[in-house]
Amino acid sequence: MLRAVPPETPLVSVLVPSFNKAQYIEETLQSVYAQTLAQAARIEIIVVDDGSTDGSPALLERHRDRCTVILGPNRGASAARQTALENARGEHIQYLDADDLLLPRALELQTAALEASGGDVSYGDWQRYVLSQGSFVRGDVVAAKIDAATSDAEAACFRHFWSPPAALLYRRTLIDRMPAWHASLPVIQDARYLQEAAFAGASFVHVPELVALYREDAGNSLSKGSQKKFVRDMLVNAREIEALWRGREGGLNEERRQVLEDTYGAGARMIFEEDDALYEECYAAFRGVGGRGALRWPVLSHRLKGVLGKPRATAVLRALKKL
């Protein structure tokens, strides 16, 4: 068990981007107010409202005595997070989406982990907070470790490991070495940010305790609401990471080539029935990193499509899936 952090612990900045989250943000802010670390007054909260039209600005006015509230035009979550960061004074940075929740000891435990280890990013376990019969209930607990599949943090953060921002605490000195939030990836910008931490040489430390609840509302999730947008983001991101690895001596080793191949192949499979042009882009990228093998799904689907045509190929692939 990690010991409590003394009062002289570094200041933690909790940065909350919000767009039309009036139904959730009150609960989110209360989860920050309830932090045990707050007893030492070592937390600042910055909320950036990204042009909400649902009454959020009026709600946030009631929190100005405990938060810095910045009202702005709608520019997207990445821009909102970046604005919050530019106004933050903390030595440690906690990004918190406006519908997620921190558990009471989250910042205490995460800060203690960074201070004890000297690490750059602490990450804790998190739990899905899922909509069931009109209300949110706790679901599965995710206790994954970055190094579970590979010791290569860059490959791990690209393909094997993901965590919501609520379960991650960043050291500010690391963030200062990282690029800004990636505004051109509207769906998976949080995943790219974690990847950038790995590319900046971050050391990661795991906190083996539950620290956050990640709200899953399929009707309000970009990645679940539009598979095409998700695959497009995934493809753009993978191409940029591939270029980064190819541009570094020894950067595209066999393990990294394999995770790229798997990612492009997954994109092709996800989008095959929905968007033919995007499927072809994913397939070309798959082959570009050496993807081959007659029984590999992208290769099989492409051959069937060429011989049978799209409708009949789709029917065959669906039948194979059932088998």
Looking at residue 151, what is its pLDDT?
94
Looking at residue 39, what is its pLDDT?
66
Looking at residue 224, what is its pLDDT?
45
Instruction: From residue 191, give the alpha-carbon distance in Å to each of 48, 97, 185.
Output: 20, 13, 10
Looking at residue 41, what is its pLDDT?
63
Residues 214 and 257 in one domain: no
299 part of a folded domain? yes
Number of structural domains (the chain) is 2
Q: Enter the tokens of residue 145.
A: 């470790």
Looking at residue 206, what is its pLDDT?
98
Q: What are the two backbone dihedrals, phi and then psi, of residue 249, each rounded to the nearest 5 degrees? A: -60, 125
CATH of the domain at 169: 3.90.550.10
Q: Exposed e or buried b for every residue in 258-279, given b needs 16+ CB within 10 A?
A: bbbbbbbbbbbbbbbeebeebb
Going by C-alpha positions, the residue among 203, 217, 94, 63 that lies closest to residue 146 is 203
Beta partners for residue 50, in sequence order: 72
Residues 132 and 152 in one domain: yes
Q: List strand residue ranges (DSSP E) for 179-286, in order.
A: 204-216
Residues 140 and 193 in one domain: yes
Residues 84 and 209 in one domain: yes
Looking at residue 8, what is its pLDDT?
67
134 part of a folded domain? yes
197 part of a folded domain? yes
Residue at which a domain ends, from 154, 189, 220: 220
Residues 215 and 263 in one domain: no
1 part of a folded domain? no
3 part of a folded domain? no
Element of type H or E holding 166: none
6 part of a folded domain? no
Residues 80 and 197 in one domain: yes
Residues 50 and 140 in one domain: yes
Residues 145 and 286 in one domain: no
Q: Enter the tokens of residue 139.
A: 């679901």
Looking at residue 315, what is its pLDDT?
94
Q: Give the model confidence (pLDDT) of 190-216 as tens digits.
A: 999 999 999 999 999 999 999 999 998
Q: Give the model confidence (pLDDT) of 2-34 as tens digits.
A: 444 454 678 999 999 999 999 999 999 999 999
Residues 157 and 210 in one domain: yes
Residues 143 and 265 in one domain: no
273 part of a folded domain? yes
Beta partners for residue 106, in sequence order: none
- Residues of the chain with pLDDT below 70 are 1-8, 38-41, 218-225, 294
Q: What are the two backbone dihedrals, phi and then psi, of residue 16, each rounded to the nearest 5 degrees? A: -120, 105
Task: State the DSSP code for 3.
Answer: P
Residue at which a domain ends, from 198, 220, 242: 220
121 SS3 class: strand
Residue at which a domain ends, from 182, 198, 220: 220
Residues 128 and 185 in one domain: yes
Q: Against a cut of 0.85, is the pTM above it?
A: yes
Domain that holds residue 181: 12-220
Residues 51 and 188 in one domain: yes
